[in-house]
Chain A
Amino acid sequence: MSATIETIEAMERPPVTMTSRLDGELLEVSMGPQHPSTHGVFRMNVALEGEIVRKLKPVFGYLHRNHEQIGEDTTYLGSMPYTDRLDYFCSMTNNWAYALSVEKLASIEVPERAEYLRVILAELTRLQNHASLLGFLLSDMGAWGTPLMYAFREREKILDLFESLSGSRMMCDYMRFGGCRVDASDEWLSRAKQIVDRFPKFLDEFEELILQNEIVIARTQNVGKLSPELAVSAGITGPMLRACGVNYDIRKVDGYGIYPRFKFRIPLGEHGDTYDRLMMRALEMRESVEILKQALAQIQPGPIVNPKVKVRAFRPPVGEAYGRIEGPKGELGFYLISDGGPNPYRYRVRPPSFINLTVLEDMCLGHVVADVMVILGSVDIVMGEVDR
């Protein structure tokens, strides 16, 4: 390369300043869809001023498969295994929400033992979901590997329980209209009891290691604040809503299943920032352990499925029903319209992680790009449910 060309180039180049700031101009960056911390194929179009986020538009649909239309084309029971694929971390709670809606639609009673099994499995699901969320979030923050493996060690034990009960670790397809598919043996229940009894030890260790960590606190406190008014208006549910200090837990409000029988507290946050959302998960796991201890002590032998429910040729009467449960990520609801046929006329999933993303932009504005990943991580999304 000759020297003359270099000088010409240098003359034409704009003057270089020491800051990366583009005064008055925004730089648009497309984050995702292939990004390690978007938890799947999720894209955000971010307009940056320097490193500060000035605008953020989420882009959905990379995993869209029109789950709802597939649900309308298949029988009621045929959708049950497919609900596992919505939020593939929490197939048990997805099953429960769907079964609950169909039970409302056709007014089906559920035997007591089945209700206990449902509570036990839903709370175990909550434990493993929250544990792995904390692991993923720390992984997003740069605590690469170790905390995630700590969390996954516990999750693995619970998935082993699921596997020995339902035959599958993640795609459980366990619940049926009016009950559950297979009964839990006494041996299974005592194994579950062991795992639940040991879980607080993991929580103590995890909290000591991570949640009081200086870097974690610096990265999360006062980051991504959400006001309770906006959270309520935007339909935010689950731990994210309670982190803003709004006391709303569907387990208490609706008292579906047999939740009114258990004593448990609802942890509430104060600031609505990322740290509160993180702590909310840790505290909720402790309450889930309490529920599990009570449920495992109270469960009695008995039938696990309502024998009156037709399995083949199941046709609920004409009508509609909306059933919802407190899923680990928020309010998970199913809205069904029956025209008396074997398929639902309308099958709608109310996905908590999709609606929780409504306020993503509001939470990220004014923060640096690196915080976007932490805030998104604290929302707790699974793309199988967001895009459906």
Chain B
Amino acid sequence: METLEQIKNRCELAARGAKVEIVANPGPSQQSSLLIDNEHAVPVARFLRDHPALSFDFCSNVTGVDWLDRVAKKTAKVKQVVDGVEKEVDQTTEEKIPGYLEAVYHLYSIKLKHGPLIIRLRTENRADGTRLPSLTPVWRSAELQEREIFDLYGIVFDGHPDLRRILMWDEFKDHPMRKDYVQPDDFEWEPTPHDEVLERAKQHYTSRPQLDGAEKITAPQS
């Protein structure tokens, strides 16, 4: 397989205006990845699949990652004048990196038997800008996996043929794989609630909607 640098250059030449960035992997696994801008993701993906020297025809794994807002601390030596004397002082600058969601694709080539090439797509933020282009038109194997990411992470894939919840039920509201997800406490409908669960259950009983009148029949006579 060609080096990431070569593949990056090829991608930028093939899709005009595409911004491809190498995301270094600090670990020992030697699996660095390419970050592709959202606008050109589909043409770049198509290029990666169709180019004879690359032919990444097999998209093995598609997954989401949630990166929360974080603060990166940088320490740098700065010259400062303290009490009339110039000194070198450590100055830490804090840089706020806003959070984002990521979709990670692991590509292999069945024809040339090489891989993995890892490509990443990033959303603008974690709140209202969680849209990414779908790569399902390029690799069909992303179909169910992108649905799973939509379900568990809340990334909306534009151009996906059938974007619905897949593992959670359709009425479910939140996205349970996000790092700031808080579990609701109303799923513990025990047949005989007691202690803590009873207290919690009482709160939910009051707000429980009337279903069809059936519960009135079994309710004890007061």
Contact = CB atoms under 8 A, between A and B. Distances in A.
Contacts of B65: 337, 345-346
Interface in B163-178: 166-169, 176-177
Contacts of A107: 28-29
Interface stretch (A21-29, A132-140, A228-236): A228-236
Contacts of B152: 66, 68
Contacts of B119: none
B141 A105 contact: no
Main secondary structure of the interface of A (DSSP, over half): mixed
Interface in B128-187: 139-145, 152, 166-169, 176-177
Interface stretch (A110-118, A256-264, A285-293, A312-320): A312-320
A387 B144 CA distance: 12
Contact of A358 (B27, B104, B106, B140): B140
B31 A322 contact: yes
A60 B29 contact: no
Contacts of B113: 248, 253
A184 interface: no
B140 A233 contact: yes
B213 interface: no
B28 A358 contact: no
Size band of the B side of the interface? Answer: 20 to 34
A123 B216 CA distance: 59
Contact of A335 (B27, B63, B140): B63
Given A319-B26, A335-B104, A232 B177 contact: no
Contacts of A388: 167
Contacts of A320: 25, 27, 29, 31
Among all A-B residue pairs, the 8 with the closest Cβ atoms: A319-B27, A235-B141, A321-B29, A107-B28, A234-B140, A61-B167, A350-B61, A64-B167
Given A68-B177, A348-B63, A235 B27 contact: no
A64 B151 CA distance: 12
A321 B31 contact: yes
Given A60-B166, A69-B176, A346-B65, A317 B140 contact: no
Nearest to A320: B25
Interface in A65-97: 66, 68-69
Contacts of A69: 176-177
Contact of B169 (A61, A105, A335, A354): A61
Main secondary structure of the interface of B (DSSP, over half): loop
B76 interface: no
Interface string B51-78: 0000001111101010000000000000
Contact of A66 (B104, B110, B176): B176
A338 B28 CA distance: 11
5 contacts: A66-B176, A68-B177, A104-B28, A319-B26, A322-B61
Contacts of A350: 60-61, 63, 106
A282 interface: no
A66 B177 contact: yes
B218 to A, nearest CB: 25
A281 interface: no
B118 interface: yes
B116 interface: yes
B156 to A, nearest CB: 19
Given A230-B140, A333-B106, A317 B26 contact: yes
Interface string B77-98: 0000000000000000000000
B28 A317 contact: yes
A268 interface: no
A346 B166 CA distance: 20
Contacts of B59: 235
Contacts of A355: 141, 144-145
A335 B28 CA distance: 14
Contacts of A354: 144
A348 B143 CA distance: 17
Given A232-B57, A321-B29, A358-B143, 13 more contacts: A61-B168, A64-B168, A69-B176, A107-B29, A233-B57, A233-B139, A237-B60, A316-B27, A319-B29, A322-B29, A322-B116, A335-B61, A335-B106
Interface string A334-374: 01011000000110101000110111000000000000000
A237 B106 CA distance: 14
A230 B57 CA distance: 11
